[in-house]
Structure 1
Amino acid sequence: MKEVKYRFSPNISPKTIKVIKAIDAGLNLLYKSRAKKVDVKEITVTQFAHIGDLLLTLPGLKRLKATSNLKVKLVVNSQNYAIAKRLNYIDEVYVADAPWFARGPQKSYWNFIKQLRKIKSDVIFDIRGDLRNNVFLKFFTRKKALVGYGVGGGGALLNEEFDFVYQGHASEFTTPIFKYLGLPESTNAAHWHEDDVPFDPLPDDNLPLNFVAVHLGAGAQSRRWTIPNFIQVIKGIALSTPVCVMGVAQDASPEELEIISSIPNVINLVGKYSLLQSISVVKRSTAFVGLESGFSHITGMLKKKAFVLFSGTSDINVWKPCSFYENQITLLQKRVPCDMGTGCGKFFCDDNICLKNIQPAEVIDLVNDYLRELRSESLIAS
């Protein structure tokens, strides 16, 4: 039996961890012989989690397609389907909505099982390392082999359990599959191009030649900054450079959006465009300012300069946006006792001091210094 060094979010209760370890002990008694030789012609990668998790997986998927002759399939949740179906290095996309990753009241285990029953593959590779993922993929999908990680439990259900690199960046979670498949050595970055991120053109292209994109939102309440702080930043940047403000209507109140719209040199795009159209906005921008969110990861994948306000809820070493050149991503993070060094794991926080400690003036100075440097090098118009 392989000794497991478990990886759990700090907000998981000790009782839950005991239950997972007890289940693991039972599974190890039941599933002692797991290795399985498979003739692989197709592989399915499962990524049930949120948009940021999917985006960090994309360079590995591109490399997998580029270095093999395999049919590469992908499983995502409904919210990520709009991006996944447009990936030209993915041959087929399945949708499966894992209830434990759902944001909102709509959670159906029965529907999830029906979605899983449609999946058929030689090999299924789950990159999460979660007991629930491993259990449901083991018993409700059609495959010859299931491979992945056991760090969250359920390693005994895998035909091949990969070694997990602790504190390793999430974009490298796909790395063990290349050795498993006997593929040539390479790197994700060697195969990645900014145009590998799908986008839709804007229906009305009225954007300035040079501008800073500011995105107001984040998926979790604990990762959000106050809109008054954002308004200060927008005003500070807009004194010298046009600003396009992005997000969804729920990110700010009508009164706050009205204030944003009234700021000179600012274009309010909140709620105006689809996800894929909004990617076009970032693609056109000179720089991006935002929170620890899907759009910060999109900016990283587009190889754009980004200033990211990072909370204390997740491990910055693991979950920071991808960068492809020096100083591409500027991370602003204030360490606080409750971040536990690896992130507290909270989705809701009554007093998210990790973000409250980031001051608007600090953000304004960093962005404006960068823009001044570009102007001095004549890379953008004055």
Structure 2
Amino acid sequence: MSSARGSGASPVNPGAKAKEVLVIKLSALGDFVLALGAMRAVREFHPSARITLLTTPPYEEFAKTCPYFDVVETDGRPEGLKATNALLSRLRKAKYDIIYDFQTSGRTRNYYSVLSRAGKAPLWSGHHEKAAFFHDNPARAGMHSIDRLAEQLEVAGVAPQGRWLGKSAPFPDLGWVRPKLGDTPRLSPAYFGIQKPYMLLIPGASEHREAKRWPIENYAELARRIADLGITPVVIGGKAESAIAQELVKREPRVKNLVTRTDLFQIVALAETAVFVVGNDTGPMHMATLAGAPGIALFALTESNPDHSAPRGPRTVIVNSAPTLKELSVDDVWQSVRALGIAPV
């Protein structure tokens, strides 16, 4: 088990007395979404504090709508010495009662190092050996993001009455999206010309890691089988998936192409009423399963360990029976569709 470290007397988390709190989470989408449970825990533990999130531009709108933050700053990855100095100067002047580093990267470790040299070190929760609340578990790199952040919070004293100690970690919740945005048409499937029943296909993954991408011909065959059940396959993703989506529609015209057309809020809303979702190890897949869609997540044994990064929705099946996704057959995935009760056995 990890322990809190500091100089002199044991550090104490200010809890409800805190007035200014900083949370650092820069990227990536999947990691950001998986950190929402920990972010909520911070909000609940510091009910009267003004909580600032330091992040990057892709998450600005999402974070500003999220009920856990009062201020959102997006220069967490400044370019150049001048911008970096400006950021560090602002953090120093803010005099945060406590800082939660949920990124725990080399960059954010350096932020702590600089801030601690400038005078009194801020109360810091993260992976820095001189931090007041040092998450020093040597196995942390092999932990799932949700579990790792939960243990980091335990070290910082954010586990009142053992709420998740030895039990379940603070789980990401996306149920705030619709209440915050209201009954807006753009959150409806009909906004995109989609009628129920439908499902989501998420073929994206890191462009430089081909083994993490299930071949387009397999997605097309899966889409054909799904459409034959009377369920509309809907493909979502970013600009990098444009060519994939176009080829998918060419091979199976019953596919609805929403690539580049959905924002993060719309992904959540579409997932809430989707029959199910199938996708690679990518950020929107985490969002879809956390929003409640039954999910089938495709993992290549040589590329990703599901124990570290698998989606954790309430009904998620992990398919990881092949070294690379190229070797994963459509029948392998179809077995999971049957297991979810969507296709006849």
What TM-score, normalized by structure 2, do the two folds share?
0.77
Q: How far apart are residue 225 of structure 1 and its match? A: 2.6
User: Where does residue 123 of structure 1 map in the other structure?
Assistant: 98
Q: How does 1:53-92 map to 2 (within 5 A)?
A: 53-71=31-49, 72-92=51-71
In the aligned structure 2, how far is the partner of 1:273 from the partner of 1:38?
40
Opposite residue 238 of structure 1, the aligned amino acid is: A
Q: How far apart are residue 363 of structure 1 and its match? A: 1.6
Equivalent in 186, 191, 194 of residue 163 of structure 2: 186
User: Where does residue 49 of structure 1 map in the other structure?
Assistant: 27
Alignment partner of 1:318 is 2:305: no
Instruction: Check the 8 A contact 2:200/2:278 in 1, yes or no.
Output: yes
Q: How far apart are residue 273 of structure 1 and its match? A: 2.7
In the aligned structure 2, how far is the partner of 1:67 from the partner of 1:37?
13
Instruction: Check the 8 A contact 2:135/2:155 in 1, yes or no.
Output: no
Aligned pair in 2 of structure 1 residues 136, 179: CA closer, same or farther (>3 Å)?
closer
Aligned pair in 2 of structure 1 residues 369, 68: CA closer, same or farther (>3 Å)?
same
In the aligned structure 1, how far is the partner of 2:61 from the partner of 2:80?
21
Opposite residue 303 of structure 1, the aligned amino acid is: G
Q: How does 1:1-382 map to 2 (within 5 A)?
A: 36=11, 39=14, 40-71=18-49, 72-98=51-77, 108=80, 110-119=82-91, 120=94, 121-140=96-115, 145-150=122-127, 154-156=128-130, 158-164=131-137, 166=140, 167-175=142-150, 176-178=152-154, 180-181=156-157, 183-184=159-160, 185-187=162-164, 193-197=173-177, 201-202=187-188, 204-222=191-209, 223-240=212-229, 241-253=231-243, 257=246, 259-260=248-249, 263-311=252-300, 312-323=302-313, 325=314, 328-334=315-321, 336=323, 354-372=324-342
| 1:178-229 Cα shifts (integer Å, max 9, x gaps) | 5534651324767754413577625825222211110121244313233222
In the aligned structure 1, how far is the partner of 2:9 from the partner of 2:328?
49
Aligned pair in 2 of structure 1 residues 190, 292: CA closer, same or farther (>3 Å)?
closer
| Unaligned segments of structure 2, at least 5 residues | none
Q: How far apart are residue 243 of structure 1 and its match? A: 1.0
Worse-matched range after superposition: 117-126 or 361-370 = 361-370
Instruction: Check the 8 A contact 1:213/1:246 in 2, yes or no.
Output: yes
Q: How far apart are residue 252 of structure 1 and its match? A: 4.2
Query: How well do the aligned residues superpose, as a CA RMSD in angstroms?
Result: 3.4
What TM-score, normalized by structure 1, do the two folds share?
0.71
Q: How far apart are residue 309 of structure 1 and its match? A: 1.0
| Unaligned segments of structure 1, at least 5 residues | 5-30, 100-106, 337-353, 377-382
In the aligned structure 2, how far is the partner of 1:133 from the partner of 1:246?
32
Say how many residue pairs are matched. Answer: 316
In the aligned structure 2, how far is the partner of 1:180 from the partner of 1:369?
41
Q: Percent identity?
A: 18
Instruction: Check the 8 A contact 1:76/1:96 in 2, yes or no.
Output: yes
In the aligned structure 1, how far is the partner of 2:338 from the partner of 2:296?
11
SS across alignment from 2:303:
coil
Aligned pair in 2 of structure 1 residues 159, 245: CA closer, same or farther (>3 Å)?
same
Q: How far apart are residue 124 of structure 1 and its match? A: 0.9
Instruction: Check the 8 A contact 2:299/2:318 in 1, yes or no.
Output: yes
Aligned pair in 2 of structure 1 residues 49, 34: CA closer, same or farther (>3 Å)?
farther
Worse-matched range after superposition: 280-289 or 33-42 = 33-42
| 1:77-103 Cα shifts (integer Å, max 9, x gaps) | 22222221111122222213437xxxx
Q: How far apart are residue 367 of structure 1 and its match? A: 1.8
Instruction: Check the 8 A contact 2:147/2:169 in 1, yes or no.
Output: no
In the aligned structure 2, how far is the partner of 1:249 from the partner of 1:132?
27
Instruction: Check the 8 A contact 2:235/2:258 in 1, yes or no.
Output: yes
SS across alignment from 1:66:
helix
| 1:254-279 Cα shifts (integer Å, max 9, x gaps) | 8x615515635321212223333233
Instruction: Check the 8 A contact 1:147/1:162 in 2, yes or no.
Output: no
